[in-house]
Amino acid sequence: MTRTAQRAGDRPEPPEPLPHPVVDNHCHLDIGAHDGPGEPVPVLDALARSAAVGVPRIVQIGCDLPGARWAVETAREHPAIVAGVALHPNEAPRLDADGRLDAAWAEIAELATDPRVRAVGETGLDNFRTGADGREAQVRSFRRHIELAHELDKTLVIHDRDAHAEVLEVLDEVGPPPRWVMHCFSGDAAFAERCLERGAHLSFAGTVTFKNAEPLREALRVTPLDRILVETDAPFLTPEPWRGRPNASYLIPTTVRAMATTRGTDLLELCRAIEANTDRAFGGAWGA
Lowest mean pLDDT among 196-200, 238-242, 284-288: 284-288
Q: What is the set of domains in the chain, with CATH numbers? A: 21-281 (3.20.20.140)
Highest mean pLDDT among 4-13, 96-105, 128-137: 96-105
Q: pTM for this one?
A: 0.94
- The pLDDT tens digits for 35-70 are 444 456 689 999 999 999 999 999 999 999 999 999
Report pLDDT for 288: 60
From CA 281, how far away is CA 179, in angstroms rounded? 6
From CA 228, how far away is CA 265, in angstroms rounded? 12
* pLDDT exceeds 70 at position 7: no
Tell me if 233 is assigned to a ligand binding site.
yes
- The pLDDT tens digits for 174-187 are 999 999 999 999 99
Tell me if 164 is assigned to a ligand binding site.
no
Tell me if 145 is assigned to a ligand binding site.
no
Tell me if 183 is assigned to a ligand binding site.
yes
Report pLDDT for 287: 87
| Cβ pair 184, 174 in contact under 8 A | no
Tell me if 153 is assigned to a ligand binding site.
no
Tell me if 88 is assigned to a ligand binding site.
no
From CA 195, how far away is CA 182, in angstroms rounded? 8
pLDDT band at 31 (very low <50, low <70, confident <90, very high): confident
Report pLDDT for 42: 86
Report pLDDT for 266: 98
- The pLDDT tens digits for 67-111 are 999 999 999 999 999 999 999 999 999 999 999 999 999 999 999
3-state helix, strand, coil in the chain (%, to 5): 45, 15, 40
Report pLDDT for 66: 95
Kindly state the percentage of the chain with pLDDT values over 70: 93
